[in-house]
Amino acid sequence: MQSYSLTHLTDAVLLRDLSAIAARDRVMTATLLAHIAEVDARRLYVPAGHPSMHAFCVEHLRYSDDAAFRRIRAARAARQFPKLFTALADGQVNLAAVSLIAPHLTYENVDALIEASTHKRKIEVEQFLAERFPSSDALPSAVAKIRVISPKPSDPPAAALPLLASAEPGATSFPSAAGRLSGEVRNEMLVLGRVANSEVHAEPRFHFQFVVPKSTHDKLCQAQALLSHSMPADDLARVFDRALDALISQLEVRRLGVSTRELRRERPHEEGTPSRYIPAAIRRAVWGRDEGRCTFVSITGGRCRCRRFIELDHVVPFARGGKATVENLRLRCSAHNQYEAERVFGVDFMKRKRQEAWIAATTRDRDADNSP
């Protein structure tokens, strides 16, 4: 068994071994990224039961969301610009730096950006990128779970606090303590909200931060005005929650012909039709049976967890006489729907079909733009 106790080593041996392990770790990181890039390019995560490379890295490789995001971004960049693999393996640049420069890389600037991030810390890379690629949207989008600590009786009561915490350029973490947000509002374009003071919440709570254009801010103000009779003007969390309820209902009606709220009340009773049209009652029944989740099961028995980009898929394809019945329909995420279609009809056939659909959609849009 591997022993992790190193107390018997001399200082010199310990330092020598650590340096050697770090060097091997850099080579291993580059090799790992090469593997991620190749699995990604071959889309092997799909038959393994995952809708995306990110889901594969989190659910199968057990990386955290952040670690998966960083590795995938770096891996894709390194596949396009292979000298990044060497720079990583040699310790010239670290994984965080590659992930940061990745969105800015071009064939013209790749050498310069590797050079500029050589032996630099993350904050230094962020600084030179901010100078070289200035953006008005310097505030990173992020969602953070708020750590809630029960207040002590001696704690002074907290006043209503602004929803937006301080937004130093390049800041990536949220100042939070005892469930409260500290800091000051720096952006007058944002509407102030508040968080409850020392209240302890049974449910986990999250802090959202993102930059919006003025048009979105105007919509928020309009929604707040329309809701002013039913909730405090500064309760942004409830406005956000109501907006999401409305959006979800609208999207469910578009996709299923009915919202899940209605779905819970109704029982499906319609069955089958020979046309491509799928009646709302059947869509409802399939959605309910499959619990709104992709039904793809990998060869090792793992079911895809995806609930996004969900589509109705014919078990026996419509083109081969498959009917729109509850039994012949199932939910699939778009990745697994496409995978199944490619498996049945062939990759080239589906590629041609997608190109035809794209051309048809482009022609429709152009005609719509040109119509009086």
Task: Enumerate binding residues for Zn ion (CB under 5 A).
Answer: 51, 294, 296, 304, 306, 333, 336
The CB-of-345 to Zn ion minimum distance in angstroms stands at 18
The CB-of-308 to Zn ion minimum distance in angstroms stands at 9
The CB-of-306 to Zn ion minimum distance in angstroms stands at 4
Q: Which residues pair with 328 in a beta bridge?
A: none
Q: Which residues pair with 209 in a beta bridge?
A: 142
| Separation CA 371–CA 365 (nearest Å) | 10
Minimum CB distance to Zn ion smaller for 34 or for 61: 61
Burial-class residue 272 by CB neighbours within 10 Å (0-12, 13-18, 19+). middle
Minimum CB distance to Zn ion smaller for 284 or for 336: 336
Helix axes 347-370, 334-345, angle to 10 degrees: 120
| Separation CA 25–CA 159 (nearest Å) | 48
The CB-of-186 to Zn ion minimum distance in angstroms stands at 41
- In which element (H, E) is residue 111 found? helix 110-116
Minimum CB distance to Zn ion smaller for 59 or for 235: 59
SS3 readout for 254-284: HHHCCCHHHHHHCCCCCCCCCCCCCCHHHHH
The CB-of-55 to Zn ion minimum distance in angstroms stands at 9
Helix axes 65-80, 11-42, angle to 10 degrees: 70
Residue 102 per-residue DSSP state: G
Burial-class residue 227 by CB neighbours within 10 Å (0-12, 13-18, 19+). middle
Minimum CB distance to Zn ion smaller for 324 or for 333: 333
Minimum CB distance to Zn ion smaller for 285 or for 306: 306
| Separation CA 62–CA 76 (nearest Å) | 19
Contact 196, 163 (CB under 8 A): no
Minimum CB distance to Zn ion smaller for 145 or for 308: 308
The CB-of-67 to Zn ion minimum distance in angstroms stands at 22
Minimum CB distance to Zn ion smaller for 79 or for 305: 305
The CB-of-287 to Zn ion minimum distance in angstroms stands at 15
The CB-of-46 to Zn ion minimum distance in angstroms stands at 8
Minimum CB distance to Zn ion smaller for 49 or for 179: 49
Minimum CB distance to Zn ion smaller for 68 or for 93: 68
| Separation CA 281–CA 259 (nearest Å) | 12
The CB-of-317 to Zn ion minimum distance in angstroms stands at 18
**DSSP per residue over 159-222, as a string?**
PP--SSPP--TT--S--EETTEE-S----TTSPP----SSPPPSS-EEEEE----HHHHHHHHH
What stretches of 159-221 adopt beta strand conformation (E)?
176-177, 180-181, 205-209
CA nearest to 164, candidates 141, 188, 192: 192
